[in-house]
Amino acid sequence: MFQDFKLSHLELFNTQTGECREVSHYLYMSWPDFGVPKSASAMLDFQAHVKRRQESSLRTLYPDWTGPPGGPPVVVHCSAGIGRTGTFCTLDICLSRLEDIGTVDIKQTVRRMRTQRAFSIQTWDQYYFCYKAVIEYAQQSGLLQPVEWSDTELETDSE
């Protein structure tokens, strides 16, 4: 148990071949359906934890991996597979892009995702959260100077 998420380790067995696979299952508990996490920092910590686990598993299971640098894809899901899933995937893609090439295009990332999964990111709040989290990440990483801002004047009603 962590403050905002729970990590479970599952073992899947193929009864015909005897093959066993370990699955790390993360349950992010501080994220209401149709809403956004309480804290961008908590989501950034969660995303970093998932990435570290993915890298560690890749080194352990496939030391001679020659596929994509990050390893095989992570499976992400929520109840409908579009709001919270789309937000997490957008954030993950954008942070990886920021690290790799130093630029981010959240709007284009969401557009590309929606060609593969319609309605990814369901609400304005989820879209806005991606911007907020990327800015916070860039500030923490020293890629962006601290910015004074307030979202109290913004209309955040999803309608």
Q: Answer whether 123's CB lies under 8 Å from 156's CB.
A: no
Q: Answer whether 90's CB lies under 8 Å from 110's CB.
A: yes
Residue among 78, 89, 94, 130 flagged as catalytic: 78
| Helix (H), strand (E) counts: the chain | 4, 2
Given this model, what pLDDT does residue 17 score?
Answer: 96
d(CA 86, CA 130): 10
d(CA 131, CA 127): 7
> What is the reported pTM?
0.83
At 145, the pLDDT band (50, 70, 90 cuts) reads confident
Q: What is the pLDDT of residues 63-110, one digit of tens each?
A: 898 888 778 888 999 888 889 999 999 999 999 999 999 999 999 999
Given this model, what pLDDT does residue 159 score?
Answer: 44
Q: Is 78 a known active-site residue? A: yes
Interval 52-63 mean pLDDT: 88
Higher pLDDT, 59 or 146: 59
Higher pLDDT, 25 or 156: 25
Residues with Cβ within 8 Å of 15's Cβ and at least 6 positions away in sequence, in order, are none
Q: Backbone phi, then psi, for 125, in 5-degree steps?
A: -60, -40
Given this model, what pLDDT does residue 79 score?
Answer: 85
Q: What is the pLDDT of residues 10-45, one digit of tens each?
A: 999 999 999 998 889 999 988 887 788 888 999 999
Given this model, what pLDDT does residue 154 score?
Answer: 56
